Amino acid sequence: MKILERLANVLRRFPMKSIFVMLIIVVFLAIGVKDIFMATGNDTLVEPGSEVYRENLMLEKEFGGESIIVLYESENLLTPAHFEHMQGLEEALQNKDSIYSILSPVTLTEEIAKKQANTGKDGAPMDSGVPGNQEALDKMIYGEDNQLRPMFEEVVIDDRYMVMMIKLSGETDDSGKTEVIDTVNHYLDTENIETAETLVSGKPVLDNATRAAMQESIQSMMGLALLIMTGVLSILFKVRWRILPLAIVLLAVIGTVGLMGWLQIPITMVSMAVFPILIGLGIDYAIQFQNRYAEEMLKEDSNGE
């Protein structure tokens, strides 16, 4: 209570200086807004210092982390044109440091082609890479009994579907995952193939969509809350400075978000719940404070008369 009394005395003696200092603090905190970021990784669900988190991190370092799946669907699937398209996607991703490995029908076919190029049939050298004609490609994919070779069974689901599995390196952060996903989507958009349908999926893709949805939701929530509060204060709060509590709440929100940016605290699905509570409590306390201030001002006016 003594601290509050001292603070009240300071505010009473130096009102304009106190307002100036508070504005400086809010501006300083607002600078941290640019560093705020969304997070949906494992560290938002499990304590980073826990044993299960450390063991999972060690596993990802040795064997790679999460995978992005690119699905190809077509009636006539295993063709040189489709393999060439998938090969172009692999080339677009080859310089990404966050990629641990890529497994696809193309990578397996290239391995077979390399072995054949080293040995050659009848002693004659062969070209390495994916063959450009259907007959040569079928010889690589299918065995002598015209059945799919066992090594392709993981990436060729059936005659209609095949997949590319892009495994990310362990400890890849959200920005690295987003970069890979954007590269995949950009390639599929610019290098459209009419004879096949493509689909990008996997946990990193889902997390990336969740972060985008979180950002859109929080923007909509804040905008709608401001609109509703403005209407409520304008209609029900019959005082001169009726929008002042809303301005105070905005300063509180900016300060809170800025502080999270300075401290590198991410916005998660859990921390998003803070903002509705902050707005609700903030507007309530601001109205009560303003009413109390108005009452004291009326008392002083009455005493002066």
Query: Given pLDDT bands bounded at 50, 70 and 90, which one contains residue 107?
Result: very high
What residue spans of 47-173 are helical by DSSP H? 51-63, 80-93, 105-119, 134-141
Whether the model clears a pTM of 0.85, i.e. scores above it, the answer is: no
Write out pLDDT tens, residues 219-278: 888 888 888 888 888 887 777 778 888 888 888 888 888 999 999 888 887 788 788 888
Q: Give the three-state DSSP class for 71.
A: strand
Specify the pLDDT at position 301: 63
Query: Given pLDDT bands bounded at 50, 70 and 90, which one contains residue 303?
Result: low
Same structural domain, 195 and 77: yes
Residue 73 predicted with pLDDT over 90: yes
The tokens describing 190, both together, are 């610019």
- Parallel/antiparallel/unpaired status of strands 67-73 and 197-201: antiparallel
- Alpha-carbon distance 143 to 160, whole Å? 19
Same structural domain, 30 and 78: no
Q: Domain ends where: 201, 236, 260?
A: 201
Considering its fold, how many domains does the chain have in total?
Answer: 2
The tokens describing 34, both together, are 């640019």
Query: Given pLDDT bands bounded at 50, 70 and 90, which one contains residue 128?
Result: low
The tokens describing 35, both together, are 């560093």
CATH code for the domain in which residue 115 is found? 3.30.70.1430
Specify the pLDDT at position 119: 63
Same structural domain, 101 and 183: yes
Same structural domain, 108 and 232: no
Pair 282, 249: CB distance under 8 Å: yes
Residue appearing with tokens 């504005």? 23
Q: Domain ends where: 201, 236, 257?
A: 201
Q: Is residue 74 part of a domain?
A: yes
Pair 247, 19: CB distance under 8 Å: no
Residue 279 predicted with pLDDT over 90: no
Query: How many CB atoms within 10 Å of residue 68?
Result: 23
Residue appearing with tokens 């677009």? 92
Please give the C-alpha separations between residue 293 and each of 9, 144, 241, 303, in angstroms, as whole numbers. Answer: 15, 91, 12, 15
Nearest CA-CA partner of 215 in 263, 275, 169, 161: 275
Residue ranges making up the domain that contains 192: 67-201
**Residue 302, φ and ψ in degrees, nearest 5:** -65, -40
Specify the pLDDT at position 140: 87
Query: Given pLDDT bands bounded at 50, 70 and 90, which one contains residue 282?
Result: confident
Sheet-wide strand order for 67-73: 99-103, 161-168, 67-73, 197-201
Write out pLDDT tens, residues 80-95: 999 999 999 999 998 8
Higher pLDDT, 50 or 103: 103
Q: Is residue 142 part of a domain?
A: yes
Average pLDDT in the chain: 85
Specify the pLDDT at position 127: 57
Same structural domain, 219 and 196: no
Specify the pLDDT at position 122: 47
Higher pLDDT, 254 or 300: 254
Q: Domain ends where: 183, 201, 219?
A: 201
Same structural domain, 97 and 185: yes
User: Which stretch of 87-101, 209-223, 285-299 has the lowest confidence by average pLDDT?
Assistant: 285-299
Please give the C-alpha separations between residue 136 and each of 139, 157, 291, in angstroms, as whole numbers. Answer: 5, 21, 84
Nearest CA-CA partner of 37 in 241, 176, 180: 176
Average pLDDT rounded to a whole number, residues 151-177: 90
Query: Given pLDDT bands bounded at 50, 70 and 90, which one contains residue 184?
Result: very high
Q: Is residue 57 part of a domain?
A: no
Nearest CA-CA partner of 103 in 162, 190, 35: 162
Q: Is residue 50 part of a domain?
A: no
Q: Is residue 52 part of a domain?
A: no
Average pLDDT rounded to a whole number, residues 120-145: 72
Same structural domain, 194 and 222: no
